[in-house]
Amino acid sequence: MGYDAYAVTIFGVKSDINDFEVTEKKRGCEHKIDKDAKFCSQCGKPAYITDTFIPDELYQEKYKGVDIIRPNSDSNEIYLGVLIGRTDYNKKSVCYSKGNITQLIDKTIERLSKIEEIAIFDVAFWTVLEESY
Ligand SMILES: [Zn+2]
């Protein structure tokens, strides 16, 4: 593995992963507890924990046909749209978008407009540094 860096160009919107995160309160263990208990009397774990996660749907049906780029997992920044191209520091550039760019843009805007969490008026071309460790 090691460190990899890519320059990525995407047509779409910039967003914040927190806009998609779901917070859920759930039981801290499997044991039966009293209604008002703060901790489990059997294992000592908190009675309830708050779990924050990115719903699987973000990568499934609702976003089908939408590329989701999170350039750096330490950052909350994500981009939704269509991946235009990617290049790293020692290989050739790769173009992901083939065909009519106007149709591609129209199709991307149409797809993005169906996603309520994003502001469609912020659609633009973005070139960002994507890092993986
Ligand atoms: Zn327990």
Average pLDDT value over all residues in the chain: 84
Percent of the chain topping pLDDT 70: 93
- Ligand 1 centroid – CA 49 distance (Å): 12
- Ligand 1 centroid – CA 28 distance (Å): 7
Q: CA-based angle 56:97:71, to the nearest 5?
A: 45
Least confident interval from 14-23, 60-69, 70-79: 60-69
pTM over cut 0.85 = no
Banded pLDDT at 100 (limits 50, 70, 90): confident
Answer whether residue 24 shows pLDDT above 90: no
- Ligand 1 centroid – CA 54 distance (Å): 26
Which residues are within 8 A (CB) of 50 and not within 5 positions of it... i.e. 6 or more apart?
23, 24, 25
More confident residue, 42 or 88: 42
Which residues are within 8 A (CB) of 61 and not within 5 positions of it... i.e. 6 or more apart?
none
Banded pLDDT at 126 (limits 50, 70, 90): very high
Concatenate the DSSP letters of all residues of 45-68 into one string.
-BSEEEEEE--GGGGSGGGTT-EE
Answer whether residue 61 shows pLDDT above 70: no
- Ligand 1 centroid – CA 72 distance (Å): 36
pLDDT of residue 60: 65
Q: What tokens were used for 113?
A: 């407009």
Q: CA-based angle 72:75:76, to the nearest 5?
A: 120
Contact 40/31 with Cβ under 8 angstroms?
A: yes
More confident residue, 31 or 51: 31
More confident residue, 1 or 84: 84
Which residues does residue 22 pair with via DSSP β-bridges, in sequence order?
Answer: 53
